[in-house]
Amino acid sequence: MKQLLLFILLTTALLTSAQETTVKAVVLNAQTDRPMDNVNVLNLNRVIGTATDQKGTFELAASVNDTLYFSFLGFKSIKVRVSNDMLKIGGTKIALTELAYALEEVVVRPYQLTGYIEIDAKNIVINDNYQYSISGLPRGYEAGRYNPGAFTKTVRAIFNPVGLLHNIFGKRPKQMRKLRKMKEDDLIRNLLAEKFDRETLMELLQLERVEIDDILTNCNYSKQFILTANDLQILDAISGCYEEYKVLNKK
């Protein structure tokens, strides 16, 4: 009986190790057929990433049916499902298509400046958002003219903090468990720090943009923060609110 159990354990270990493989491929420009370097490649299932080298090649841990996400500035991002052939043969060619932008004339007038310092200084918009930290409640409560309802939300959270946050995170356990992995991967953090389109966040967390905005709004972040923060700041904001939720949920 012991020998049979040992055999089953060894067989399971061998099968598991066989599945823990890496995928090797090359990323090309679909228009020129030339290799592309510094293309970001993320394994959405494992929440790990890498970038292509000067020859356009990359190597990343993956298993069959894992989804790889490719992104590069000015090119259409794509998702590729890992197949047995990709793992066994290697050297799969993946092509990215360049995006076409229709440029229009844009006149930027953030302030109506007159040229007189005394007058112009009074017209500059000052960010008067303030954050309030209440012991035992989620951090990040913002107030000010950009978020006039923040006080009401904060008071409501005092009386029912767990219930409020449960409506935000309780229905998304799988997505939220990825947050810590995302924060620990330097490549992912560096990638998100340069992006403002929420595209990569949406793929990693498997959320729509409106859902991300809804989470931040319910965590009492101002509209200005939601509109202007980069993707890494958004990740940290969601993660911080989620960690507070877990603490409150245990209590």
Distance CA 34, CA 39 (A): 13
CA-based nearest residue to 217, from 227, 230, 226: 226
Q: Mutual orientation of helices 161-169 and 231-250 as an angle, nearest 10°?
A: 130
- The secondary structure of residue 98, as a DSSP letter, is B
- Whether the Cβ atoms of residue 27 and residue 52 lie closer than 8 Å to each other: yes
Strands 92-96 and 21-29: parallel
pLDDT digits (tens, 9 = 90+) for 167-205: 778 878 888 888 888 988 999 999 999 999 999 999 999
Please report the pLDDT score of residue 155 as a whole number: 47
Query: Alpha-carbon torsion 151, 156, 162, 168, what sign?
Result: negative
Q: Which CATH superfamily is domain 21-96 in?
A: Carboxypeptidase-like, regulatory domain (2.60.40.1120)
First to last CA, the chain: 45
CA-based nearest residue to 51, from 35, 67, 74: 35
CA-based nearest residue to 87, from 105, 65, 102, 116: 65
Q: In this structure, which amino acid lies at residue 248?
A: L
- Kindly report the pTM of this predicted structure: 0.70
Query: Alpha-carbon torsion 180, 181, 185, 191, what sign?
Result: negative
Instruction: State the CB neighbour count (10 A cutoff) for residue 235.
Output: 23
Please report the pLDDT score of residue 119 as a whole number: 63
Query: What are the start and end residues of each CATH 2.60.40.1120 domain in the chain?
Result: 21-96
Strands 67-71 and 78-81: antiparallel
- Whether the Cβ atoms of residue 26 and residue 57 lie closer than 8 Å to each other: yes
Instruction: State the CB neighbour count (10 A cutoff) for residue 154.
Output: 17
Sequential pLDDT tens for the chain (251 residues): 555 554 555 555 444 444 559 999 999 999 999 999 999 999 999 999 999 999 999 999 999 999 999 999 999 999 999 999 999 988 899 999 998 765 556 555 555 666 666 666 666 555 555 554 444 444 444 544 444 444 445 444 444 556 666 777 887 888 888 888 898 899 999 999 999 999 999 999 988 999 999 889 888 888 899 999 999 999 999 998 888 888 777 76
